[in-house]
Amino acid sequence: MSEPTAPSVPPTPPVPLSALLAREDLGLRQIAGPPAPDTVIHWAHTSEMADPYPYLLGGELLLTAGVHVPEAAGAGAYFEDYVSRIVAAGGAALGFGLAPVHDTVPRALVAACEAYGLPLLEVPPRTTFSGVARAVWQLMAQARLAELRRVTEAQQSLAAAASRPDPVPSVLRQLAQRLSAHALLYGPDGTVIASAGRAPVPGTQEALRKLTAVVRPDTAREAPASATDALADTQLAAYALGGSSGFVLGVATRRREPADHTIASVAAVLLSLLTGEHQSGAGAARSSALVRLLLGAAPAEVAGLLGSDGRWLVVHARPEHGTPDPVGAAALGAALGSPLIDLGRDVVRVLVPAGREPAAQPGWTLGVGAPAEPDGWPAADAQAARALARARATRAPLVRHGVRPGLTELVPRADAEEYARALLAPLAAGPALVETLRTWLSLHGSWDRTAVALDVHRNTVRQRVTRCATLLGTDLDDPDVRMELWFALRDR
């Protein structure tokens, strides 16, 4: 059987040997080897083989009752060979049971473990090897739970940092805090763009800069996504951001915990999105459009920077349960094919190029306005809001604003608007009355659906509609009256 040159430690959470020794129910006692706090174990394995090397993965606490020990082994050569093979296989510690074969731990075994630096534990007769293994499993489960909890909390805090007004510095600060590290963001040219965390030991930044070259894209080779190194007792790691963007995240820590790589990878993904947004042409164009709007430009002047032919769809969306959040809103925008998202308290608005027809999205209710050029965006926004209200009232996943020619086009626009203002003048002081009447008429006089669409009680709907009838001095049960009011409300 071939022997590997380096043992492979099992991918399990390490358990400090000191934690196992602290279990009073086991009664274990260390009698040789380096101090327990410096040793971790990854598994427990029982073997009575004279040469356990072929059966060890590395990192184990090997348990034996000494059945394999020959009677003439007191001279020490046997134990030196035995211990050296355990160390060569990467075994973390040796536990020797005092029953049923041996009453004491052989002195030659103690000497061999001391010489080879292998922690040796004395297992009392009352403690079974299965009990030791179970204790290791319990400690591993606790370590795994703590690791998962740490990763989850770090993910939440990093995501919250990414949503701050200064997302890149915030993510770096949060990463440095979570890992007790020094974190740096390198630009494509290798210069440090931002940093956070405790001051590194001398030489750390230069070592990290060299490590970033390993993961930075190169036409002559395929660069890895991450790389690690060490400088004295400082652990170094570098993560490429956004594939070929050239940005690199560097992290320096005093020690490397099992969850550190996962947490740093989450930060790398967030920073990839943030740096990619600023570096991409589309992101730069959107930023330019925003600046021009803030400086007084008309929407029609900046629409070309948004990457469409000028016609857009306004989509209003609400989650089926709860209120919208930044992560869900971003996922919705990605599904609809647009990064132009406005997250409100109760609704998400997305501006979608007219060539990308929105489809229903699981977990969301959508209302879509008619395609419009920049000067028609406010009207399209109102259309999308009404379509969403209708979708929620009818429990439809998606409702589109109707764009077919109708009777209203037979009347000049100015005349229709003037007539609508005159007819609806008694309601001018009550915007809530107008919106309630519009929604109630669009839903064929359904009290319950109107209440759902407006997020009010059905009795409130009844009171408002009755008030409208009184102020207008008309019978809302008359279909001709309803039709006349509906046309007026559409032209208002």
Q: What is the CATH number of the domain that holds 336?
A: 3.30.70
Q: Which domain CATH number covers 439? A: 1.10.10.2840
* Tokens coding 416: 């229709």
Q: Look up tokens 């064929």; give the residue.
A: 444
Q: Does residue 437 share a domain with residue 485?
A: yes
What pairing do the DSSP bridges indicate for beta strands 40-41 and 120-123?
unpaired
Look at residue 339 and tell me if it is in a domain: yes
Q: Which domain CATH number covers 211? A: 3.30.450.30
Counting Cα atoms < 13 Å in the Cβ hemisphere of 182 gives: 17
Domain stops at, among 259, 279, 299: 279
Q: How far lies 118's CA from each of 3, 8, 104, 299, in Å?
A: 20, 18, 18, 74
* DSSP letter, residue 363: T
* Distance separating alpha carbons of residues 32 and 192, to the nearest angstrom: 48
Q: Does residue 212 share a domain with residue 170?
A: yes
Look at residue 354 and tell me if it is in a domain: yes
Of 343, 296, 468, 491, nearest in space to 413 by CA: 491
Q: Does residue 109 share a domain with residue 19?
A: yes
Q: Does residue 452 share a domain with residue 434?
A: yes
Look at residue 289 and tell me if it is in a domain: no
How many structural domains does the chain have? 4
3-class DSSP string for 283-310: HHHHHHHHHHHHCCCCHHHHHHHHCCCC
Q: Does residue 74 share a domain with residue 19?
A: yes
Query: By residue range, what is the domain housing residue 95?
Result: 15-138
Element (H, E) at 423: helix 413-423
Look at residue 83 and tell me if it is in a domain: yes
Look at residue 291 and tell me if it is in a domain: no
Domain stops at, among 121, 138, 155: 138
Q: Does residue 394 share a domain with residue 317?
A: yes
* Distance separating alpha carbons of residues 216 and 247, to the nearest angstrom: 8
Q: Does residue 118 share a domain with residue 47?
A: yes
Q: Does residue 392 share a domain with residue 418?
A: no
Look at residue 50 and tell me if it is in a domain: yes
Q: Does residue 428 share a domain with residue 385?
A: no
**What does pTM read for this prediction?**
0.48
Look at residue 146 and tell me if it is in a domain: no
Q: Does residue 202 share a domain with residue 271?
A: yes
Q: Does residue 237 share a domain with residue 196?
A: yes
User: What does the pLDDT profile of the chain (492 residues) look like in tens digits?
Assistant: 344 445 555 566 788 999 999 999 999 999 999 987 778 998 899 999 999 999 898 999 999 999 998 876 666 789 999 999 999 999 999 999 998 889 999 999 999 999 999 999 999 999 999 999 999 999 988 888 888 898 889 989 998 888 777 788 889 999 999 998 999 988 877 888 888 988 777 888 888 888 888 888 764 557 788 888 888 888 899 998 865 667 889 999 987 777 888 899 888 888 887 776 545 455 666 667 777 777 777 777 777 767 656 688 899 999 988 888 776 777 787 778 777 888 888 899 998 888 778 888 888 999 999 888 888 888 899 999 988 988 888 888 999 987 454 555 556 667 778 888 888 888 888 888 889 998 898 888 889 999 888 888 999 999 999 998 898 888 888 888 888 888 888 756
Q: Which domain CATH number covers 78? A: 3.40.1390.20
Single-letter amino acid, residue 269: V
Look at residue 413 and tell me if it is in a domain: yes
Q: Does residue 416 share a domain with residue 346?
A: no
Torsion angles phi and psi, residue 42, rounded to 5: -110, -10
For 330-469, strand residue ranges (E) read: 341-343, 348-353, 364-368, 398-400
Long-range Cβ contacts of 294-302 (<8 Å, 24+ apart)? 298/374, 299/374, 299/375, 299/377, 300/373, 300/374, 300/375
